[in-house]
Structure 1
Amino acid sequence: MKKVPDKDILLFRSCLVSVEYPGVEASTKFVFDKLGIDYAISEKQTCCTGLGHYSDVFSQIDTTAIGARNFKIARELGRPNLVMMCATCYAINKKSVKLLNKKDDLRNHINSLFDENGLSHLKYEQNDLKPTENIYHVVDILYGKKDRIRENVKYDLSGYAIATHHGCHYCKVHYEDTIGGVRDPNVMDELIEECGCKTIGWYDHKRATCGTGFRQRYSNPDLSFTATADKMNAIADEDVDILVHLCPNCHIQFDRYQDLISKRQNRKFRAIHLNIAQFIALAMGADLDKVIGARAHTVPIDSVIGELKEVSK
C-alpha cells in the first residue's frame, strides 16, 4: 500500500454529514486527535455538488470548476491533502482532479471563466494536485494509522455481530485507488479488527448498492427500496447487530428507512448503523451524545448497544 499522509490535511466537510449525522464529523475529529493526525477545516470550502451532479442538476464543467476553487483553498492553506468523510465527495473530487490534469481544454475553459468573473486567483495549473497523492477518504487515512488504533481502544465491542458496507462511490468509481480490494472490499473489516473485533466477513450482497442512487430514492422508490431490502435481508439472515459504512448517503438509506423497509418486507430489522469513524470513536471511549451523535440516528443506537465494558489491558 502506498503511504498516506497524516499531516497537511484539509478535512473536507460534507453536506449530508453536517445536516444528517454531525456525529460522523465529531467522531472523525475525535479519532484523528487520538491518532495524532494533523488536520484543519476551512469555512471557505463549499459543497462538492455531489447530490446535484448525480441528479443531472450540475454539469461536469460546473462541478469541476467548484472543485478547482476548493483545491485552491486547500493549497493556500498549505493543506493540499483533501480528506473526505463522504464517499461521494471522494469520487467527485478525485474525478475533478483527474479531469483538470488531463483535459487541457476543460482546464483552460474553467480558468477563462475564473478570469471573466474576477476570480483569476482561483486558476488551476496542471498537476497542482494529484488524484493518488492528494485526494483521500477518511478510511485511507485511518488505514495508514491502523497500527495505532488498538492502543487507544477503551471499550470491548467484540460481543456484537458486525458487518460492513463499503459503498459504491468508494469501491466502484476509482477501482485502482481502493484500499482493501473491490471484489471483496475489506478495508473497514481490517480497521474494525484493530478495535479488537471480528466482522462476519463476506456475506450475500456485501458488494451490492445501498439502493439510494441519489434520485432513485425519490423517482423510483420501489426500485430503490427493493435494492435496500436485499441488503437488509442479507444482514438479518446473518443476525448482524451493527452495520458499519463510510458514506452518509448509505447511512441515510439504511438508518432513516429501516422501519419503512421492515413494513414492506413484513420482517423486523434490528441492526443499528454506524459510520466507521463513529465505530472507532465509540471503541475509543467517545461520548455517545457529544461525539457519536446518537440522537441524530433514527434506529436508536442503544437498541443494540448496552452498557459498555472496558477492555482488559
Structure 2
Amino acid sequence: MKVAYYPGCSLHSVAREYDSSTRAVCQALGIELVEIPDWNCCGASAAHASSEYLPTALAARNLHLAEKMGLNVTSPCAACYQSLAQANWKMTGNEKLREKINEAVGQPYQGGVKVLSIIDVFTGAGIDKIQSQVVQSLKGLKVAVYYGCLLVRPPKVVSIDDSENPQALDNLIRATGAEPVDWSHKVECCGGSLSVTNEEVSLKMVKDILASATRAGANCIIDACPQCHLNLDMRQKKINKIYNTDFNIPILYFTQLLGLALGIKPIHLSMDSHFVSTGSVVSLVG
C-alpha cells in the first residue's frame, strides 16, 4: 500500500512521537508513506473563525497536491483528517463551491482523492497481517480506546464504522493481544479547544474521561489525536490538585502500542516523550 502522507503542524512539533511511531509501524507493515511536498497548515485550529471558506481552501490545496501525486491521502492527526475530509466532502458535492475554492487557491482540485484516517490505512493493511507480525503479545494489558470527537463525527463526512460505538481502533488493539475495556467515554469530547478559553470546563471533561477509564480497569488510554493526547496527558497533575484525585494513567498514541507489539524498540516510538510515565506499559515487553 502506498499513500500520500499529510503530517500537519502538530506531528512536526508537539506530537513528534505520533509521527515517529506512525512511520515506524508503517515501515514494519510495508506501508509506504509519501509525504506531500510543500504542504500547508490545514487550518483546523482557527481558520474557521476567520472565514467559512478559508479552512476549505487551505485543505483543498493539500488535496490538490495529493491528487498531483496520484495517491489517496492520510493524516494521523484527527483534526487534520477532519479538515481534509470536510473539504473533500464539501467540494465533491458542490461544484459551485469547488470552482470558487479552486479560483482562490489557484491550483484546481478535481475531487479525485480519497481521504483516509490512519485507522483506515492500518485496517486496510489487514488485521490478520498485523496479528501475524506481532512478536510481543500485549496480553494482560487493559486498554481504554479513546476516539474523541473528530474521528467519529459527523457520520456523513468521516469513514468510521460506527459513530456511537466504533470498533475499528478496538480491533487494531485486539490484534496486539491487549484487551479493549468497555467504557462510557470512548467518543466523548475532551474539551481540547476549550482549554484556552474555559480551562475549568475542559479540566472537568478530562477528569470525567480519566475517571471512566479508571472505573473500567484500564491500565492505559490510547488515542489518535494530538489535541486529545496533550489534554489527557499533561493535565492529570493539575486535575489531581483541584479535585483531590490521584490519576496517573499513561496516555499513548495507538501507533506506539502497535509498535511495541511489532517489536519496535521503545526509543524509536518516543515512549519517553510523555508527561505521565509509560514505564508500566513498556515493562510488559521487557
Number of aligned residue pairs: 285
The within-5 A match list for 1:169-248 is 169-175=150-156, 177-200=158-181, 202-212=182-192, 214=193, 216-248=194-226
Counterpart of 1:240 in structure 2: which amino acid?
A
Q: For 1:73, which of 53, 65, 76 is the aligned residue?
A: 65
Per the alignment, in what secondary structure is the counterpart of residue 294 of structure 1?
A: coil
Q: For 2:98, which of 100, 107, 110 is the aligned residue?
A: 107
Show the counterpart of 1:48.
42
Please give the root-mean-square deviation of Cα atoms over the aligned residues, in Å.
1.8
- TM-score for the superposition, normalised by structure 1: 0.85
2: CA distance, partners of 1:108 / 1:178:
25
Counterpart of 1:169 in structure 2: which amino acid?
L
Given that 2:4 and 2:74 are in contact with CA atoms closer than 8 Å, whether structure 1 keeps it comes out as yes
Q: Give how far 1:303 is off.
A: 4.6
1:14 and 2:8 matched: yes
**What does the per-residue CA deviation read over 1:148-187, in whole Å, with 9 as the maximum and x for residues that have no partner?**
1112112232222211101200112235743331221221
Per the alignment, in what secondary structure is the counterpart of residue 92 of structure 2?
A: helix
Go from structure 1 to structure 2 and tell me whether the alpha carbon gap of 1:13 and 1:163 turns closer, same or farther (over 3 Å shift).
same
Question: Which of the pair has more CA radius of gyration?
Answer: 1
2: CA distance, partners of 1:208 / 1:159:
26
- TM-score for the superposition, normalised by structure 2: 0.93
The within-5 A match list for 1:81-100 is 81-100=72-91
Over the matched positions of the two proteins, sequence identity in percent amounts to 25
Go from structure 1 to structure 2 and tell me whether the alpha carbon gap of 1:207 and 1:75 turns closer, same or farther (over 3 Å shift).
closer
Go from structure 1 to structure 2 and tell me whether the alpha carbon gap of 1:75 and 1:207 turns closer, same or farther (over 3 Å shift).
closer
2: CA distance, partners of 1:166 / 1:186:
10
Per the alignment, in what secondary structure is the counterpart of residue 274 of structure 1?
A: strand
2: CA distance, partners of 1:166 / 1:175:
17
Q: Give how far 1:307 is off.
A: 5.1
Show the counterpart of 2:270.
293
Counterpart of 1:266 in structure 2: which amino acid?
N
| Structure 2 spans left out of the alignment, 5+ residues | none
Go from structure 1 to structure 2 and tell me whether the alpha carbon gap of 1:191 and 1:304 turns closer, same or farther (over 3 Å shift).
closer
Q: Give how far 1:18 is off.
A: 2.1
Show the counterpart of 2:140.
159
Q: For 1:37, which of 22, 31, 54 is the aligned residue?
A: 31
Given that 2:266 and 2:282 are in contact with CA atoms closer than 8 Å, whether structure 1 keeps it comes out as no
Per the alignment, in what secondary structure is the counterpart of residue 47 of structure 1?
A: coil
Given that 1:163 and 1:235 are in contact with CA atoms closer than 8 Å, whether structure 2 keeps it comes out as yes
Per the alignment, in what secondary structure is the counterpart of residue 83 of structure 1?
A: strand
Q: Give how far 1:300 is off.
A: 1.3
1: CA distance, partners of 2:102 / 2:278:
47
Per the alignment, in what secondary structure is the counterpart of residue 168 of structure 1?
A: coil
Given that 1:164 and 1:245 are in contact with CA atoms closer than 8 Å, whether structure 2 keeps it comes out as yes
Given that 1:139 and 1:187 are in contact with CA atoms closer than 8 Å, whether structure 2 keeps it comes out as yes
**What does the per-residue CA deviation read over 1:105-131, in whole Å, with 9 as the maximum and x for residues that have no partner?**
3222223334xxxx4xx1223x333xx
Q: Give how far 1:72 is off.
A: 1.6
**What does the per-residue CA deviation read over 1:174-211, in whole Å, with 9 as the maximum and x for residues that have no partner?**
357433312212211111111122211x2122331122
